[in-house]
């Protein structure tokens, strides 16, 4: 069975299109369910999810909607895992829209006895702001973004893979934590796409990048053995120069964000997706 676990906090504007795309995708070729975990919501996220009950039944999906009083993505992931019945687990962000065929490809790729991890091909939709468009254009050419199954926004694993750890710990970067439990040869990049939007504007890019960097540092400190699984190609000076010459504006924005994250964060700066 395929279980899609979808944590969502105040995602009323995004959860509907996310579920619509999932339920309209090609049949996964196995029994399937989606477990929506509305955690700490102050809007209509849960109601918008429950409104898809008829569509889910018509598409052959089991839809479960959980409501948690407190927010926290890791708590939501743990609640979703406890409610899920499938051996193949897909962890999906509420702002992601899967492309046709991706769920079926995941089921096929992960239907093996050995531990395996998979993700689709991320596509960043055109951003509203010129700054985000430039950053995204350059970022997509970097080694991590071009590596098979980077897993941001959507990642999946089979039962043998999920057995490599128990509950999700209270960490910043759940997607990196999951990916690094698998060696590069265990990670499968699939051709089917999914849409993953970037945040809009320079300040929001800096906030998210700062959080991402903090998440990597946290994992390196708490789970140093996982870092050997990174397998990310290094970007040398010559390669970086070629990318910069090919897209000077994109490089300028990327470099400016990279420099800004090194500055002290404002005392009141928390993190939100920033839409």
Structure confidence by residue, pLDDT tens digits, 10-47:
999 999 999 999 999 988 888 999 999 999 999 999 99
pTM of the model: 0.94
Task: Measure the CA–CA gap between 5 and 219, rounded to whole angstroms.
Answer: 23
Task: Measure the CA–CA gap between 3 and 165, rounded to whole angstroms.
Answer: 18
Q: What is the predicted pLDDT for the residue at 225?
A: 96
Q: What is the predicted pLDDT for the residue at 273?
A: 52
Q: What is the predicted pLDDT for the residue at 182?
A: 98
Q: What is the predicted pLDDT for the residue at 270?
A: 46
Contacts of 117 by beta carbon, 8 Å cutoff, 6+ apart: 149, 151, 155, 156, 157, 161, 178, 179, 181, 182, 186, 187, 188
Rg of the chain (C-alpha set): 19
Tell me which residue has tokens 């050995």. 114
pLDDT per position as a tens digit, 220-238: 999 999 999 998 777 788 8
Q: What is the predicted pLDDT for the residue at 264?
A: 85
pLDDT per position as a tens digit, 151-176: 999 999 999 999 999 999 999 999 99
């Amino acid at each position: 069975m395929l279980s899609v676990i979808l944590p969502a906090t105040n995602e009323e504007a995004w959860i509907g299109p996310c579920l619509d795309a999932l339920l309209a995708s090609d049949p996964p070729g196995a029994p399937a369910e989606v477990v929506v975990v509305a955690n700490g919501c102050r809007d209509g996220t849960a109601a918008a999810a429950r409104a898809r009950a008829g569509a889910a039944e018509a598409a052959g999906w089991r839809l479960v909607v959980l409501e948690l009083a407190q927010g926290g993505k890791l708590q939501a992931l743990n609640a979703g895992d406890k409610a899920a019945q499938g051996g193949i687990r897909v962890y999906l962000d509420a702002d992601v829209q899967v492309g046709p065929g991706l769920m079926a490809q995941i089921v096929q790729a992960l239907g093996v006895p050995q531990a395996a991890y998979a993700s689709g091909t991320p596509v960043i939709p055109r951003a509203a702001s010129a700054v985000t468009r430039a950053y995204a254009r350059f970022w997509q050419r970097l080694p991590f973004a071009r590596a098979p199954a980077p897993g941001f926004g959507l990642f999946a694993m089979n039962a043998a893979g999920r057995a490599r750890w128990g509950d999700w710990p209270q960490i910043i970067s759940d997607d990196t934590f999951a990916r690094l439990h698998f060696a590069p040869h265990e990670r499968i990049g699939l051709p089917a796409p999914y849409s993953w939007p970037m945040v809009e504007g320079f300040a929001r890019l800096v906030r998210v990048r700062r959080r991402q960097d903090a998440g990597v540092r946290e994992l390196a400190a708490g789970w140093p053995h996982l870092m050997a699984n990174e397998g990310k190609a290094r970007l040398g000076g010559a390669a970086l120069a070629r990318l910069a010459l090919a897209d000077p504006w994109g490089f300028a924005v990327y470099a400016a964000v990279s420099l800004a994250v090194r500055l002290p964060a404002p005392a009141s700066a928390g993190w939100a997706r920033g839409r």
